[in-house]
Chain A
């Protein structure tokens, strides 16, 4: 018996989904585009939300920002669930290796007691700030419109939760579990933290998802992370022999730098579409960045002592430059 094998080429009728082809034409599209473009439900909503009169369940009118197409707010990192999860898994592996390195050599115990206590005083309350960031980004995801904008917001929310967990773990590596309790008490009662707590709690009640995005991800985080994890952890502590802290928190500045690309791209796209958007975003940015600068002042003093003021100015100028580059009208 003779069997002849032949390779046959079968051409697919469509290279991608119609909802993606609308944007890219009928050619193979990346998984990112297929996972996000046109994935937002747009019609046939049977029920209006009873908790918010006058809106559909998914509604572009929840924000004052107007876009012709809500699929325009793309993520330059091109994260969809799989790529995001794989990237974070890799970073988690690196963090585990750092922990192993620090613990096997007893590096945390080589820091002086006074220094360990000071690190906990500065960093432990930030668990609650990151948890606020988690709640706010969940809110952006739930009230925002268009999968390219809302999906990364959810990833960002989970990343913020990760940040809170890494800070928790750092506290346990440096001190007794009591350090976490002390951090919470400081957050609720110590004078230096009250302006920041007030700011975080004020953002919880923001209704406009894009304003919340600007307040949390650009204005607050854009100053908090460079100040605390750049100037305090990487520079200030490292000079005093606290490199272990930088190793045990290395995910945080890395994630911050990476997610800035997304934050800036969203602002840039929205601002460049119309004068109306640019004016709104600029107003929000100014308001929340000023509030964050003021709220972080006592925290910066707590962390950096006499160096606080010039470094805070430097951080704020850096953020203003970022905002200007993203197309906001900042003179």
Chain B
């Protein structure tokens, strides 16, 4: 698969990430949905799965704005269930995409 993230709507593969549905995840999910306009959340019992075509990004700053507390992006691992896509992370952003 080449040029997924630049292709047309039909050819863009989706990345996804799923969290446990709890108090801690809620701010993360809220931030992801706000920062990724194309992201959609699907709620299963105890689980929230977020799909996004092309690329999905989780921003530390957005989460901090919602919680009012300092946040370390490593904290998402606590409630992370599963994900798909190539992970690219630093202190400020955690992103998933298929592009290289």
Contacts and interface: CB of A to CB of B under 8 A. Distances in A.
Contacts of A78: 67-69
Given A7-B45, A9-B45, A77 B23 contact: no
Interface string B45-56: 100000000000
A28 B26 contact: yes
Given A7-B45, A9-B45, A30 B26 contact: yes
Contacts of A31: 23
A76 interface: yes
Sorting the interface of chain A by its residue count into under 10, 10 to 19, 20 to 34 or 35 or more gives 10 to 19
Interface in A15-40: 28, 30-32
A274 interface: no
Contacts, number: 20
A83 interface: yes
Contacts of B68: 32, 75-78
Contacts of A87: 69
For B26, B45, B68, the residue with the greatest tally of chain A CB atoms inside 10 Å of its CB is: B68
A76 B67 CA distance: 8
Contacts of A8: 45
A75 B69 CA distance: 11
B45 A77 contact: no
B93 to A, nearest CB: 23
Nearest to A87: B69
Contacts of A30: 23, 26-27, 67
Nearest to B27: A30
A298 B55 CA distance: 60
Contacts of B44: 9
Interface string A69-91: 00000011110000100010000
Nearest to B67: A78
Contacts of B23: 30-31
Contacts of B45: 7-9
Interface in B24-79: 26-27, 44-45, 67-69
A51 B69 CA distance: 40
A31 B44 CA distance: 22
Contacts of A75: 68
Contacts of B69: 77-78, 83, 87
Nearest to A8: B45
A265 to B, nearest CB: 10
B19 to A, nearest CB: 14
A8 B68 CA distance: 35
Nearest to B45: A9
20 contacts: A7-B45, A8-B45, A9-B44, A9-B45, A28-B26, A30-B23, A30-B26, A30-B27, A30-B67, A31-B23, A32-B68, A75-B68, A76-B68, A77-B68, A77-B69, A78-B67, A78-B68, A78-B69, A83-B69, A87-B69
Interface of A: 7-9, 28, 30-32, 75-78, 83, 87
The 4 closest A-B pairs by CB, nearest first: A78-B68, A9-B45, A76-B68, A77-B68
Given A9-B45, A87-B69, 7 more contacts: A9-B44, A30-B26, A30-B27, A31-B23, A75-B68, A76-B68, A78-B68
